[in-house]
C-alpha cells in the first residue's frame, strides 16, 4: 500500500498467533475512533481486520504478517490490508473462494455461504471474506505476488 | 437450573447462561466469541437446546446477544448450523428462534438479519 496524504496510518508486523488477533482488533478500533467519531464504522473495519487476521493465522507460512491501515481525508475512506506468505495450495484455495464470494449481490452471497457453512463437517466456515464484503460494503482486492498474498479493502462512508 | 438442565458456561471470554421463559428457554450470551473453533463450545450447546426444544414442545427459544460484543465468522457458522436444523423439523414441532439484538453493536445490525433468511419464518430478530 502506497502511503499517500492521509489523516494517519499504522503498520503492524507480527508473528501470526491467535492470541494477538483480539489485541490488534482493539488497537485498530481505537485508532479509527480517534480520527472518526463513527464507532460503528470503527467496529466494522476492526471486524474486517480481525477476520483477515484469522485467515492469516490459519493459512500463513512464516512468521511475518503485515497489517496496514490508512485513513484518507479527501474521500474519508479507510484502507486496510493484510499481507502474509502462503503455500500454493492455500493460495489456490483462496483464489477459488474469492472468485465465488465476490460475485453477485453481497447479501445473497452471504446467505449462500452461510447455508454451505452450516453443512460443513470440518472446522472451517469460509464465511470471513463474504462477511467482510457484506458488512463493510468495502471495495475488496486480492493481490498475489509469488507466495505473498495481500487482501485489501477500502471502505468509504455511506 | 433450567428445563433442559444446561449449566452456565464460562470459557475464554464468553459466558453463556440458559434461563427458563414461559414458552421455552432463553440463551444469554455475553462477552466475545473469537476463539479459533467456537463449534467445540457452541455445537454441543445448540444440539442440546434444539433436541430439548423439539422433544419438550417449546414454542420459542430466545437467543439474547445484547451483551455479545464480538462474534467471529466461525461463531456465525455455529448459529447458522443450529438454525438450519429447523429446516428438517416437522411443522408441528417447530419452534421460533427469537434473537434479541443490540443495535449499537455493528456486526449485529447486519449479520443477525441475514440469519433470518436461512429458514424463512423460523427466526425473528428483535
The predicted pLDDT at position A64 comes to 86
- Whether B102 contacts chain A with CB within 8 A: no
| pTM confidence score | 0.94
Q: Which residues of chain A have a CB within 8 Å of the CB of B117?
A: 111
- CATH number for B9-125 (one of 3.30.750.24, 3.20.20.300, 3.90.550.10, 3.30.360.10): it is 3.30.750.24
- Whether B70 contacts chain A with CB within 8 A: yes
Mean pLDDT, chain A, integer:
90
Confidence of residue A47 (pLDDT cuts 50, 70, 90): very high
The predicted pLDDT at position A61 comes to 84
What is d(CA B97, CA A30) in angstroms, rounded to the nearest whole number?
34
Q: What is the mean pLDDT of residues B108-113?
A: 92
Which of B78, B84, B97, B106 to mutate to test binding with chain A, by most A CBs within 10 Å of its CB?
A: B106
Residue-wise pLDDT for A69-126, tens only, equals 999 888 889 999 999 999 999 999 999 999 999 999 999 999 999 999 998 887 777 8
Give A42: exposed, middle or buried? Use CB within 10 Å, 0-12, 13-18, 19+. Answer: buried
The predicted pLDDT at position A141 comes to 97
**Å between A110 CA and nearest CA of chain B:** 8
- Whether B116 contacts chain A with CB within 8 A: no
Contact B73, B109 (CB under 8 A): no
Q: What is the CATH number of domain A8-155?
A: 3.30.565.10
**Å between A98 CA and nearest CA of chain B:** 16
What is d(CA B49, CA A157) in angstroms, rounded to the nearest whole number?
40
Q: Which residues of chain A have a CB within 8 Å of the CB of B36?
A: 18, 54, 57-58
Mean pLDDT, chain B, integer:
96
Residue-wise pLDDT for B39-92, tens only, equals 999 999 999 999 999 999 999 999 999 999 999 999 999 999 999 999 999 999
**Is B33's pLDDT higher than 90?**
yes
Per-domain residue ranges of chain A: 8-155
CA-based diameter of chain A, in Å?
Answer: 47
The verdict on a CB contact (< 8 Å) between B77 and A118 is: yes
Q: Which residues of chain A have a CB within 8 Å of the CB of B77?
A: 114, 117-118, 120, 125, 127
Contact B63, B112 (CB under 8 A): no
ipTM for the predicted complex comes to 0.94
Q: Which residues of chain A have a CB within 8 Å of the CB of B107?
A: 43-44, 47, 135
Contact A129, A96 (CB under 8 A): no
The verdict on a CB contact (< 8 Å) between A54 and B32 is: no
**Is B31's pLDDT higher than 80?**
yes
**Is A7's pLDDT higher than 70?**
no
Task: Give one DSSP letter per residue of B19-86, joined into a string.
Answer: EEETTEEEEEEEEEE--S-THHHHHHHHHHHHHHHHHHT-SEEEEEEEEEEEE-HHHHHHHHHHHHHG
- Whether B80 contacts chain A with CB within 8 A: yes
Residue-wise pLDDT for A135-148, tens only, equals 999 999 999 999 99
Amino acid at each position: 500500500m502506497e502511503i499517500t496524504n492521509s489523516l494517519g496510518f499504522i503498520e503492524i508486523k507480527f508473528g501470526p498467533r491467535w492470541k494477538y488477533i483480539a489485541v490488534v482488533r482493539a488497537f485498530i478500533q481505537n485508532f479509527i475512533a480517534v480520527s472518526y467519531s463513527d464507532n460503528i464504522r470503527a467496529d466494522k473495519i476492526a471486524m474486517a481486520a480481525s477476520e483477515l487476521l484469522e485467515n492469516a493465522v490459519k493459512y500463513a507460512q512464516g512468521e511475518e504478517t503485515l497489517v496496514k491501515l490508512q485513513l484518507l481525508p479527501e474521500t474519508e475512506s479507510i484502507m486496510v490490508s493484510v499481507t502474509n506468505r502462503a503455500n500454493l495450495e492455500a493460495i489456490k484455495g483462496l483464489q477459488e473462494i474469492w472468485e465465488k464470494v465476490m460475485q453477485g449481490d453481497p447479501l445473497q452471497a452471504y446467505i449462500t455461504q452461510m447455508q454451505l457453512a452450516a453443512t460443513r463437517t470440518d472446522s472451517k466456515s469460509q464465511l470471513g471474506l463474504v462477511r467482510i464484503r457484506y458488512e463493510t460494503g468495502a471495495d475488496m482486492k486480492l493481490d498475489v505476488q509469488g507466495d505473498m498474498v495481500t487482501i485489501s479493502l477500502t471502505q468509504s462512508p455511506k | 437450573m433450567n428445563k433442559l438442565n444446561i449449566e452456565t458456561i464460562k470459557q475464554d471470554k464468553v459466558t453463556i447462561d440458559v434461563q427458563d421463559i414461559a414458552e421455552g428457554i432463553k440463551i444469554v450470551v455475553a462477552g466475545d466469541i473469537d476463539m479459533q473453533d467456537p463449534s467445540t463450545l457452541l455445537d454441543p450447546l445448540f444440539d442440546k437446546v434444539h433436541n430439548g426444544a423439539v422433544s419438550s414442545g417449546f414454542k420459542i427459544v430466545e437467543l439474547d446477544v445484547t451483551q455479545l460484543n464480538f462474534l467471529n465468522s466461525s461463531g456465525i457458522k455455529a448459529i447458522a448450523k443450529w438454525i438450519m436444523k429447523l429446516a428438517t423439523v416437522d411443522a408441528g414441532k417447530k419452534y421460533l428462534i427469537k434473537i434479541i439484538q443490540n443495535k449499537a453493536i455493528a456486526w449485529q445490525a447486519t449479520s443477525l438479519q441475514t440469519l433470518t433468511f436461512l429458514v424463512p419464518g423460523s427466526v425473528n430478530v428483535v
